[in-house]
Structure 1
C-alpha cells in the first residue's frame, strides 16, 4: 500500500485581483436560442470583457402571448448571473418579447435582482443605433408572422421613425428563424430595403444578421441595424469600449449617446 501523499498548506494568502475580468456583461437568453451566445462571444467577449449567460424557459410558437409569458422568469434569471456581484450591463435578448412586455417593465424586473445595472433590450438598442446613424426613415425586416410583427411596427413609429417599408417572413418557430442562412438574409434584405429609407432594421435575436452585416450593407447601400448588432454595440459602449469594429458594419464604428 502506498503511503498517503503529504499535502502542504501554503502559508500566505495569494493576492487577489478585484475581478477576473475588468468588465461583466450579463445575458439573458431564451432556452431555444441558437444565435445570441455565439454572436456575443464573437462581438463582445474579449480580454477585458466577460459575457455571463442565463437561459429562461420559452415555448414556441412565437406569439405575443408566449413572448409575454417570459416576464415572470426575468428576476430569477438575472439573479442567477454572478449572484451578489455587480454587472456593467445586462441584456435581455428577445426583441419581440421586449416590445410586448415593455422596455421599462423589463428594466424593473432585472433591476429587482441587480439594482442599478444598465439594462439593454434589443429594440431600444435598435432605436439608439438607428439614431446614432442619423436614420429617420427606415425599412424593417422581421422573421415573424404579421400578428407578432404588428407591435414592432408600432414600437418604431412611437419612437419617431417613419417606416418606409415593413416586411415579415411568417415564421412561427425561433429555431427555424436561426436556420435562415446569412447568404439568404442578404437577398431578403435587398428585397426588403425601400429606395427612400435611410437604414434597415432586421429584428430577432435568433436571426444571424450580424454574420452578414457587411454583405447586407454592400447589397443595400445603406447601414444595417440588427437586434444582436445593436445589443452588442450597446453593451460594449456601456462597458466603456469605444473601439471601432468596421468588420461588423457601420453601427459598430459609432459612439452611443448616453441617457
Structure 2
C-alpha cells in the first residue's frame, strides 16, 4: 500500500478577499452575526469572538465589560491579519468610551483599524449631513440619558430619544422587526434629519428601507452603520443595496 502526503496550496488571499472583519460581540447577542451576514457582500467576512456581559443593562455593568475586550480580540483568528476589528455594543461604547475600546484592542492587535457603533454612527451622521436626530433604543431611561448626552456633547441636536425599557440584552433580540418599525414611525420627530436605531441586538436592518420610504429621510441602525463603516475602512468600492441610502449611496466616496 502506498501512503502519500498531499500538500495543499495555501491561498489565504482568497478567503474573504475584500475584507476580514473581526467582531467582538456580547456573549448574549443573538443578532449581530445574522445581521452582518446580510449586510456584508460575499467577498467580505466577519469572524466573531465574544466578551462576557452582565445583566441588568446598566452603565455600571456595561463598563465592567472593558477588561474582557483585549482577550476577546486576541481569540479572533490568531496569527491571521484582520483588516478591521469591531466592538459591537452601542451602549457599551457609550459607557466605556470609544478611545478606551480602541486602546484595549490595540494592546493585542496593534495597528488594526477599530470601529464601534458610536464612532460609525457619528461618521454616518456626518456623511448624511444630519445635525438633528431622533433615537430609538431598547434601553431604559437611565441608559438613554447617557446615550443622548454623548451625542449632544458631540454637537448633535437630539430632538428626542425613546426606548423599549429592556434591561436584559438577550431579550432585546425578541423585539420583532414589526414592533421596531411601528415604534420608529412613532418616535421619529418630523424635524429630525435622520432616525438612529441603537443597539446591535435589535433586528432593525431589514426594516430600514421601508422606514426611509415612509419617513422620507435616512434611517441608520447600529449594525448597519458598523457594516458601512467597516466597509469604508477596507475601501470597499461597490454599493450594497437593500439596507438604506447609507449603504447604497455612501460607500464608494
TM-score by length of 1: 0.92
Q: Name the structure 1 match of 2:130.
A: 135
| Corresponding residue for residue 17 of structure 1 | 11
Structure 1 position 85, deviation (Å) = 2.1
Deviations 1:85-142 (A, max 9, x none): 2211010100000011000000000011111111111011011111111111111111
Task: Decide whether the 8 Å contact of 1:25 with 1:88 is kept in 2.
Answer: yes
> 1:256: Cα distance to partner?
5.8
2:107 match: 112
Matched, 1:169 2:164: yes
- Give yes or no for contact 1:45–1:51 (8 Å, CA) kept in 2: no
Alpha-carbon distance, 1:9 to partner: 2.7
Q: Aligned partners of 2:58 and 2:248: how far apart in 1?
A: 34
**Alignment gaps of 5+ in structure 1:** none
In structure 2, which of residues 29, 47, 55 is the aligned counterpart of residue 52 of structure 1?
47
Larger-Rg structure: 1
> Partners in 2 of 1:257 and 1:119 — Cα distance?
19
SS at match of 2:21: strand
Q: How is 1:209-220 mapped onto 2 (pairs within 5 angstroms)? A: 209-220=204-215
What residue number does 1:78 align with? Answer: 73
TM-score (norm 2): 0.94
Distance 2:216 2:250 in 1: 21
Question: For 1:174 and 1:168, how far apart are their aligned partners in 2?
Answer: 13
Alignment of 1:53-68 (within 5 A): 53-68=48-63
Conserved? CA contact 1:216–1:224, under 8 Å: yes
Q: Tell me by how many angstroms 1:45 deviates.
A: 5.2
Which of residues 1, 23, 29 in structure 2 aligns to 1:27?
23
Q: Aligned Cα RMSD in Å?
A: 1.7
In structure 2, runs of 5+ residues without a counterpart are none
